[in-house]
Every structure is written in C-alpha cells, then in structure tokens.
Amino acid sequence: MLTWVRKILRRSKTAEHRQRWWDARVAALESILGTCDGTVWYAPTPMHRQGFADVLRFREYVDGIAYVTCDLVGNSRQLPNKWGHYELMLCTRQENEWAPTLLSRLAQYTHEAMLHPSDTMDLGESMPKDSTIAALLFARPDPPADSFIVMGAPANLILCIGITAEEFAACKNFGSGVLLRMLKENNVYPFTEFQRESVT
C-alpha cells in the first residue's frame, strides 16, 4: 500500500510540473503574440508519452491565424538551436485544419534534428493532393515574436512557411535568404497558402 501511495504522489508531482511548464509557455507566447483565443488542438497521444504536440490558435498576431505548438520549450528531448529551445508557428489567412496537424506532427521531429532559420524540409506526400505546397522554409518571425523567456530560460519561435516545388528548387540554387525576400516582396510572408502560384 505504501508503494502505491508513493507512486500516486510521484505521478501527481509530475503532472503539476507539466502544468507549470504549460502555463508558463502559454503566458510567454501570449506576451509576444497576443491572447490565445482559447482553442487548443490536443494530440491524441501527448508529447510526454512519445506522441505529438498540442497546438494553440492566436488571432491577434497577424491578419489571419497563427498556429503555435505549446509543448517544446522545456522539453529535455528537443535538440535546442543556438537561441535555445523553440516552438513552431505556422500562419494562415483563414482557418485551416491541416496547419495544426502538420505542426503537431513536425514537433516530434525536433527530438531527432535541430531546426534553424533558413533550413528547408521536403514534405513529400504529406500534403493534400490539391495543395501546391511541396516543402517548408523555416524562418525567424519578425520581432518581438522571435524570442521570449519561459521559466527563466531563453526560447524562440521558428516560423514554418509552406513553399512550392519551384521555390524549393530556388532555395537550393540561390539560397533561402533570396526566396525569403521574394516571399516578403510578394506579400506571401509570413503566411502559408496551401494553393498559390510560385513567386519565382
């Protein structure tokens, strides 16, 4: 009986620890993105059980929607980049169910590889068939959304921008910085539009 009580207490402390980190992440994200609108996409299997990340929805950061993971900062399994641990963000002009799903699953990848701004990732067959998006370009969002503090630890956001196959090729040929500038000049940045023409 004593062993069972100890296990329950240990589990309770772990749950309290996770809740403290969750609350701290939400508060830190709201300080740079505005108030979360209360919508949370909960992963069927939570990240602390080898599952995927939960995702928040923000409506004040852009003229559209910003989806942001809320499970990675403070997660000891994530490989931090040079600015520390990071959450992932994807912005859309309208609501899109695919966006939080993509982010939730991509979060698991940050336990295997370190993501940096200017990196790209081929999405392969993971996008809907009617989408023109073939890859992701990772970037730092504009200040003040580029960095924040959680429980005294430095953290940052990585913006995921969907790019077409032609734009992905341009990144390889001319560099991500050139494409990022073109996306800004054509009013695509910071949004992912799942059906659009290439800017190249």
What are the domain boundaries of the chain? 2-185
Q: What is the mean pLDDT of residues 158-172?
A: 96
**Which residues lie closer than 8 Å to 86 by C-beta, 6 or more apart?**
72, 73, 78, 80, 110, 115, 155, 156, 157, 158
pLDDT at residue 13 in the model: 65
Q: Is 68 helix (H, G, I), strand (E, B) or coil?
A: strand
pLDDT in tens, 91-105: 999 998 899 999 999
Judged against a pLDDT cut of 90, whether residue 191 lies above it is answered with yes
pLDDT at residue 12 in the model: 60
Q: Is 156 helix (H, G, I), strand (E, B) or coil?
A: strand
Q: Indicate the pTM of the whole model.
A: 0.90
Judged against a pLDDT cut of 80, whether residue 10 lies above it is answered with no
Handedness of CA 41, 43, 46, 51 (dihedral sign): negative
Judged against a pLDDT cut of 50, whether residue 1 lies above it is answered with no
**Is residue 3 very low, low, confident or very high in pLDDT (cuts 50, 70, 90)?**
very low
Closest CA to 54 of 43, 39, 44: 43
pLDDT at residue 107 in the model: 93
pLDDT at residue 182 in the model: 96
Q: What is the mean pLDDT of residues 109-119?
A: 93
